[in-house]
Structure 1
Amino acid sequence: MSPYRVIVLVFEDFHVLPAYPGRMGQIASTPLWQLGNRDLVARLTDVHKRILRDYAEYFAILSELDGRGTAYELGYSNTAALLVHTQNISRSEANQRIAQATALHDVKTPTGAVIEAFLPLTAKKLAAGEITVGQVEVIRKFVGSLDHVEPEKVAVAEELMVERAAEDDPNALARYGERWVRDVVDPDGKAPEDDEPQRPERELRRHIFRDGRMEFKGRLDAETAALFDALLAPFEKREPDDTRGYAERGGDAFADVLQKAANCPDLPTHNGYKTEVAFTISMDELAKSVDERVLPGTRLTAGEARRIACDAHVLPAVMGGDSKPLDVAVPAYVVPAHIRRGLVLRDRGCAFPGCDRPASVCHSHHITSWLRGGPTALGNLVLLCGQHHRLIHRSEWEVKLDGGIAWFTPPDYVDPVRTPRRNHLHSGNSKFVGAK
């Protein structure tokens, strides 16, 4: 074969190999329904890498925003609170994004100090679209757990995790880190704490369902656990004809202990007065209703309501024709208990959009400040939890009452057209307000 033929063959090979980028451009411009399965997957992968590169830019912007204290300047207590409103994400997701941005990028604080990123290699791979956000979170948590290890070993751990990320999904990557990388960079583990814990380990997590039922779980230290068992024991004894199981007897015993505690004369108060149950229903209607009738706007039957009212403080209230509590015009800065009760009957909890905090933890906010002549009356008050009370005072959010409903107008950086919003979680025409 002559040298010229060799040159021609090599040239032809060279000409054929780079044709793939043009092929990708053709795939990107072809309607989806005309693509074959392989081309469809290739297009999906290409879009995915573009999303990852956008995420890298997002984290860079977020790092700068958090470092310069933008949220605080706009009246928010922290960056997470700002993200909740501007991005419509949960607070936990907002905190996770902030943690990822801080790990990937250097942060210059308002004082001029620089906090160096501890995942620089991960940041480069994300910017190149070669690592996913889920993998970033796995690497951040794993490398963050090595805060007691020498910096050189931490860098090795990141490198090993990034290399493995090319093959593993986030779950497999997490297992790889714990089973292999930790043995390499941290075989001895973290040294045990010399000091005794300052407070007992106690947790209680609660979830309330729509129908009012509660599910909870938790843990107690040994001393409190012994006290808990001792309190339940007298109430969960099995009677001769008792058909309840172990769990049912425990639940009934717990309810009995709670009832005993509620009847204790030394029961702590909330907002200046003890627990009350308010029925916005006429006494005649309550008395005449049959036991099985479910009261309008509630999940209670008339019999259940009468049972609750039997051992409760009956609070008479003057209501308007549309079942709204009437104002009590008493000029005072501190909201009196009787006005507070009317406010709870109306708002039922924090009135800020999307907030489900109950009335028992809410403040009575003067819409027009008392210092500016705003009266302490229902027409100038709204219930706000501590977080949203601070936000209203410090930011550009505005609130006004219209027909007894609180409407909140967001700043333009949350909603450019500033459309008023209201809380729908406490809305409805309920005749039973519940405990405060």
Structure 2
Amino acid sequence: MCHSELLQHKLPATRAALTRGDISYRHVEVIIDNVLALPDEAWQDFEREALTESETLTVPQFTKKAIRIRELTHPESITVRHKRALADRCFFVGPGRDGMAYLEMTLSNEDASAIRDRVEAMAKNLQSADEPRTLPQLRTDAAVDLLLRGVTETGLGAGIRGNVYVTVPVLTLMGKSEESGTLEGFGPIDPETARRIAGTASSFTRILIHPETGAVLSFGRTKYKVPTELRRWLQLRDGSCRAAGCNRRAQDCDIDHTIPWESGGETVFSNLANLCKRSHRVKHETGWAVEQSKDGTLNWTSPAGKHYATHPATRIRPTIPTTEPATKPKTWLDPWSIPNTGSTQHRSNDHDERDERDERSTSSRTDAIGENQLN
């Protein structure tokens, strides 16, 4: 809608060039992206200069030209704009497809150019007749090695290693299942990578879960829960801030008592959740109300009475010893599976027999799971 409005009312020359077929829609996107960074009074000059001989340029060539023209036609000094833009430098990592991810940085031109040249030089030095990796692969591997193991000129980074949390089904770790593992903050990873991380990388915390019950079987080393371990467990369970619509990493959040401590709430996993500082304040200082269910779901109620549910990122939950007898699960009988004999008594007996069989089957399954957990 934005592009349509701009082409119709603000960029008539661009629309005419697109109509004639002189430029592609990708060229149009480049023009719009650049004019939006200019004040309105500079749009006409930019459009006129950008469209000159634009039909002979590819999109990458046109992009370079558009950036140069934008800088020349902007009425404000580039020094002032660069100083303001430099304050917005940022670093972002996001999940991609097939176990991959994206790493993005917004930084000054000179730093980006220097980084590119250094990575390019390292990658080309690694090229040889026996090197099977392509140049793009070598560039990526060189940059990863620098970021993971490099040290700054001030010594920052020495001895620092990144922490990565991986949840691995126990049967996958044993090689008896190909169920994917889960990398915290990103999502599924292939079984081979999960096994390698859990088995060989000393800088990784290993989390094993039962593939059916989701119960925690190991947390790297046998240890009684202490606040630090409990916090780490909650980070793995939640993944991110548990407020509706918030995606801030759990590692950057506060641990909140769903039922406040001063109101009798306990410091126990079923009464704790990760909330970023803003969401934490909203919960305690506004009319929002929160309840936590047994499976870790947070049920939020807004001051307007609207209901929102947020769910844990993973299904891990602790194994808690209990002496309470197992409750009989509710069974549901498909009415279409009952023969229509016209006898109400027969249906009732059939229902009772099915319940009996379900109860015996459920009891057997419960005993088997309990034995596995004890072993």
Question: TM-score, structure 1 length as denominator?
Answer: 0.45
Paired residue for 1:256, among 131, 145, 150?
Answer: 145
Shift of 1:248: 2.5
* Structure 2 residue 297 is the aligned partner of structure 1 residue 406: yes
Distance 1:358 1:304, change over 3 A: same
Give the secondary-structure state (helix, strand or coil) at the position aligned to 1:399.
strand
What are the within-5 Å matches in structure 2 for residues 376-395 of structure 1? 376-395=267-286
Paired residue for 1:189, among 45, 67, 75?
Answer: 75
> Is contact 1:134–1:170 with CA below 8 Å preserved after alignment?
no
* Structure 2 residue 215 is the aligned partner of structure 1 residue 215: no
CA distance in 2 between counterparts of 1:409 and 1:231 reads 48
Q: Greater strand percent: which structure? A: 2
Paired residue for 2:44, among 175, 179, 191?
Answer: 179
Q: Partner residue of 2:70?
A: none
Paired residue for 1:422, among 294, 309, 315?
Answer: 309
Q: Partner residue of 1:339?
A: 230
Shift of 1:211: 4.1
Residues 284-311 of structure 1, C-alpha deviation per residue, up to 9 Å, x if partnerless? x355216x82337773343212211211
Q: Partner residue of 2:201?
A: 311
CA distance in 2 between counterparts of 1:357 and 1:404 reads 21
Give the secondary-structure state (helix, strand or coil) at the position aligned to 1:169.
helix
Q: Partner residue of 1:355?
A: 246
Distance 1:354 1:405, change over 3 A: same
Residues 326-347 of structure 1, C-alpha deviation per residue, up to 9 Å, x if partnerless? 9x998xxxx8211112212322
Higher relative contact order (CA 8 A, sep 6+): 1
Segments of structure 1 that go 5 or more residues without pairing to the other structure are 1-132, 139-166, 269-273, 432-436
> Is contact 2:181–2:191 with CA below 8 Å preserved after alignment?
no
What are the within-5 Å matches in structure 2 for residues 234-383 of structure 1? 234-236=122-124, 237-242=126-131, 244-261=133-150, 265-267=158-160, 275-279=163-167, 281-282=169-170, 285-289=171-175, 293-295=178-180, 299-309=188-198, 310-313=200-203, 315=205, 322-324=213-215, 336-383=227-274
Letter of the structure 1 residue corresponding to residue 283 of structure 2:
I
> Is contact 2:239–2:314 with CA below 8 Å preserved after alignment?
no
Letter of the structure 1 residue corresponding to residue 9 of structure 2:
D
Residues 203-261 of structure 1, C-alpha deviation per residue, up to 9 Å, x if partnerless? 54544225442234444442564356436633552121445443232122222323424
Give the secondary-structure state (helix, strand or coil) at the position aligned to 2:251.
helix
Give the secondary-structure state (helix, strand or coil) at the position aligned to 1:344.
helix
Shift of 1:406: 3.0
CA distance in 2 between counterparts of 1:288 and 1:215 reads 30
* Number of matched pairs: 249
Q: Partner residue of 1:146?
A: none
Residues 34-84 of structure 1, C-alpha deviation per residue, up to 9 Å, x if partnerless? xxxxxxxxxxxxxxxxxxxxxxxxxxxxxxxxxxxxxxxxxxxxxxxxxxx
CA distance in 2 between counterparts of 1:197 and 1:393 reads 38
Residues 106-137 of structure 1, C-alpha deviation per residue, up to 9 Å, x if partnerless? xxxxxxxxxxxxxxxxxxxxxxxxxxx969x9
Shift of 1:387: 2.8
Question: TM-score, structure 2 length as denominator?
Answer: 0.51
Q: Percent identity between the aligned chains?
A: 20
CA distance in 2 between counterparts of 1:210 and 1:355 reads 22
Give the secondary-structure state (helix, strand or coil) at the position aligned to 1:355.
coil
Residues 265-300 of structure 1, C-alpha deviation per residue, up to 9 Å, x if partnerless? 5327xxxxx614243544xx355216x823377733
CA distance in 1 between counterparts of 2:272 and 2:164 reads 21
CA distance in 2 between counterparts of 1:388 and 1:286 reads 37
CA distance in 1 between counterparts of 2:147 and 2:181 reads 28
Shift of 1:194: 7.4
Q: Partner residue of 1:69?
A: none
Give the secondary-structure state (helix, strand or coil) at the position aligned to 2:266.
coil
Segments of structure 2 that go 5 or more residues without pairing to the other structure are 14-31, 49-72, 152-156, 218-222, 318-375
CA distance in 2 between counterparts of 1:245 and 1:314 reads 29
CA distance in 2 between counterparts of 1:277 and 1:198 reads 37
Q: Partner residue of 1:233?
A: 121
Letter of the structure 2 residue corresponding to residue 266 of structure 1:
G
Distance 1:196 1:221, change over 3 A: closer
Residues 3-35 of structure 1, C-alpha deviation per residue, up to 9 Å, x if partnerless? xxxxxxxxxxxxxxxxxxxxxxxxxxxxxxxxx
Letter of the structure 2 residue corresponding to residue 288 of structure 1:
M
Q: Which has the larger radius of gyration?
A: 1
